[in-house]
Amino acid sequence: MARKKAHGATVTAAEVILEKGDTKKRFSDVHGAVNGHATKRPRIEDRTDYSRWRMRDDEGRHTWHYIEEDQAAKDWPQTHADKYYLGLPLDLPELKPAKTPLDAVWNGLTFFEKLQLPSGHWGCEYGGPMFLLPGVVFAWHITKTPIPWYYATEIKNYLFARANPEDGGWGLHIEGDSSVFGTVLNYMVLRLVGVEADHPKMVKARATLHKLGGATHSPHWAKFYMAVLGIAKWDIVNPVPPELWLLPDWVPFAPWRWWIHIRQVYLPMSYLWSKKWQAEETEIVLSLRKEVFVEDWDSINWAGHRNTIHPNDNYHPKTWVLNSINWVLVNFWDPLLRPKILADKAEAWASDLIDMENKNTDYSNLAPVNAAMNTIACFARDGPDAFSVKRLKERLEEALWLTEEGLLCNGTNGVQSWDTAFTIQSIMDAGLTEDPRWRPMLLSALKFLDNQQIRENVEDQDKCYRQQRKGGWAFSNKDQGYAVSDCVAEALKSVIILQKTPGFPTLIDDQRIFDAIDTLLTYQNPSGACSSYEPQRAGTWMEALNAAEVFGEIMVEYEYPECTTAVVTALSLFSKHWPDHRTKEIRAFVDRAVSWIKTAQRPHGGWYGSWGICFTYATMFALESLASIGENYSNSKHSKRGCDFLIARQRQDGGWSESYKSCETGEYIEHPTGSQVVMTSWALIGLMKANYPGIEPIKKGIKLIMDRQQPNGEWLQEAIEGVFNKSCMISYPNYKFTFTMKALGMFAKKYPKETVVSE
């Protein structure tokens, strides 16, 4: 894992420029060592100097660095991408105003090209959820990791910028109403990074927290974190018995059947719950005990508050089944019946599974939620100097991201392969892949996907119940290494498109393409639909055991029109170029998948989206899959109803606008800020794929996208685009480039004679 420094010398990933005059210090020496200053409060300033931040792209691994030394800062100049992420002026020239949609794509690409990173992909903030950064900061606190002043400062800035302007609290995600979950976690973060309790913003946030009932009213995961930190007693945490991992595979609710994220979160949680492990009681922890509760700490009836929760946090109330199981576990199993030998065995197996997750991802872990918890679990098990703890902390850094508002934690360690695939496709849809002007950019993107393809299954695949992944792509990078059905599909489509374009090399040979197909073909559920990381392993009745309260639909894999469509279109494209490879299986897969998509259509004609907001996103995908088997507006009632659904929701100004509230409520709800370029693009792409007969509504939408383009070719950020688990929103900032350009490019190709002049 060697790479070149800006000035030529080779360094390892762990060597980064950290402190004044110290360009060689190892990351772990600064962040990782227990240096006797565990309780020392971080220094905190008003702001950092934004001209000193750099984002390093180490073959798709992102880390942010603050360079305090002038000479070192000069030796490593800020790139356009750095400046863009940081909200600094780019001073790019105004481009020739776009006269046609194709001009607009050209201008968009001219801008977007500047943001391509050295390894060939596009980086971005991937924020939104407000419960991720807390995990990281708690892990630092618990592992006694000094927090550099520039991190502390920018974490404070981010959280203050994202506090609810009215009540000063935080929600589950950046657009959500204040909840106990968001407020208690982020309040604790601010205190741990050095903000004083009497800071006016903290006083306001605390008042909101207390108004919501205080920390006793928080959901399960917050209670877990508070118990580990020593802010609450373990009795307030509903049980997470590690014995679950010992259940035989045939048991209908055995953990291997759960959705991978829940599996991986409950694994370290169960280990720590079983041990009732608590971090050192630091001064700040003792103080937080007095701050976050409404009640006097010593008088709290901890066990009595296991199920206390504020309605704002209770998106998915626990079922009576789960409540009854918890009651038995708390009152009988844990205190009276639980054999020590069984508990030890369960802890040992959970611990082995944690090791497998670490090994299989080179300590990146599936996402920062389980990465933070695994860091704490490994610290509890292995102690401060262990390789596991140091390496986990190093990799945790890759989820951090700096924006003009401050430092946040991304939902994953990036969106690298996913955004790269969509960028390639938008250029293809505009018919520009053969234009030599864009070849270097595309070639570099292709090289990235080549480099990021997962070449082997994990060694202990069956032991740790991992899905086949050989030939696949992850959402972020191959270190994380979890193939996802639609990530494999979108990356594969992009690779095939480019490799079949004259002038591009065949970097990925046929065998590697076949590997991807073999893996894709494993994703189908009996219904014909595809899920995300794995086919469904248990029924949706498992939601009865959903203990998280704040999220819906998390226990098992569900069936998604988005994922299903992506796989369908990838298989169709593959079959065009390799008509003789696994022909029958592919045809059967596609037929069953498209039949399922038809059954998933809602009575109003739209499809519910689980990963983008919401009906607009999934309807685009569904219309695309229907089109891929020749069904369109004129010959398919499904396609027609989908188009009519979209057309009925077009706004006066030609755009579409959907709020995240659609995801929560299941009803189409408009965003109060009006038309959004991303949703407008999704709707237009769907209509064009379906061959919608009227051009006027499409032209109107295209005009809106063109009008919103800036003179330098970019589009500005509007409302949030993505979602997960029904209730939590997440940003996809590159969508405002990839999907706008795709819609414009498709229009240009479909209606070459039409000119839509932007104002």
The footprint of ligand LAN (CB under 6 A) covers: 261, 265, 367, 369, 411-412, 418, 475, 484, 486-487, 532, 551, 554, 562-563, 611, 724-725, 730
CA separation, residue 67 to residues 51, 52, 75, 77, 157 (Å): 9, 5, 10, 10, 19
Q: How far is the CB of 703 from ligand LAN (least distance, A)?
A: 29
Query: Helices 485-499 and 416-429, interaxial angle, to 10°?
Result: 40
Structural tokens at position 742: 């795709």
Tokens 């996103």, residue located: 617
Q: Regarding beta strands 2-4 and 10-12, do their DSSP bridges make them parallel or antiparallel, or are they unpaired?
A: antiparallel
Distance CA 560, CA 373 (A): 28
Q: How far is the CB of 551 from ligand LAN (least distance, A)?
A: 5
Nearer to ligand LAN, 412 or 636 (CB): 412
Q: How far is the CB of 17 from ligand LAN (least distance, A)?
A: 30
Q: How far is the CB of 228 from ligand LAN (least distance, A)?
A: 17
| Strand (E) or helix (H) holding 585 | helix 583-599
Q: How far is the CB of 78 from ligand LAN (least distance, A)?
A: 28
Q: How far is the CB of 487 from ligand LAN (least distance, A)?
A: 5
Nearer to ligand LAN, 284 or 369 (CB): 369
Identify whether the C-beta of residue 488 lies closer than 8 Å to the C-beta of residue 472: yes
Identify whether the C-beta of residue 194 lies closer than 8 Å to the C-beta of residue 152: yes
Q: Is 486 a catalytic residue?
A: yes
**In 40-133, which ranges are E strands?**
53-58, 61-66
Residue type, 441: M
Q: How far is the CB of 202 from ligand LAN (least distance, A)?
A: 26
Q: Which of 235, 255, 261, 259 is nearest to 243 (CA)?
A: 255
Nearer to ligand LAN, 179 or 412 (CB): 412
Nearer to ligand LAN, 61 or 390 (CB): 61
Q: Which of 753, 607, 590, 617 is nearest to 678 (CA)?
A: 617
Identify whether the C-beta of residue 521 lies closer than 8 Å to the C-beta of residue 585: yes
Nearer to ligand LAN, 531 or 601 (CB): 531
Burial 714-744 (b: 16+ CB within 10 A, else e): bbeebbbbbbbbbbbbbbbbbbbbbbbbbbb
Q: How far is the CB of 84 from ligand LAN (least distance, A)?
A: 22
**CB-CB neighbours of 608 under 10 Å:** 20
Structural tokens at position 755: 């000119």
**CB-CB neighbours of 591 under 10 Å:** 13
Structural tokens at position 324: 């009854």
3-state secondary structure of 676: strand
Nearer to ligand LAN, 562 or 718 (CB): 562
Nearer to ligand LAN, 148 or 733 (CB): 733
Give the DSSP per-residue string, 679-701. HHHHHHHHHHHTT-S-SHHHHHH
Structural tokens at position 262: 């829940």
Nearer to ligand LAN, 488 or 741 (CB): 488
CA separation, residue 620 to residues 391, 485, 623, 746 (Å): 41, 18, 5, 13
Rg for the chain, CA atoms, rounded: 25
Residue of 296, 486, 515, 518 marked active site: 486
Q: How far is the CB of 482 from ligand LAN (least distance, A)?
A: 8
Burial 669-699 (b: 16+ CB within 10 A, else e): bbbeeebbbbbbbbbbbbbbbbbbeeeebbb
Distance CA 485, CA 687 (A): 24
Beta bridge partners of 129: 173
Give the DSSP per-residue string, 224-271. HHHHHHTSS-GGGSPP--GGGGGS-TTSTT-GGGS-HHHHHHHHHHHH
Q: How far is the CB of 456 from ligand LAN (least distance, A)?
A: 20
Nearer to ligand LAN, 486 or 624 (CB): 486
Nearer to ligand LAN, 158 or 633 (CB): 158
Structural tokens at position 215: 């920390």
Instruction: Indicate which residues carry an active-site annotation.
Output: 486
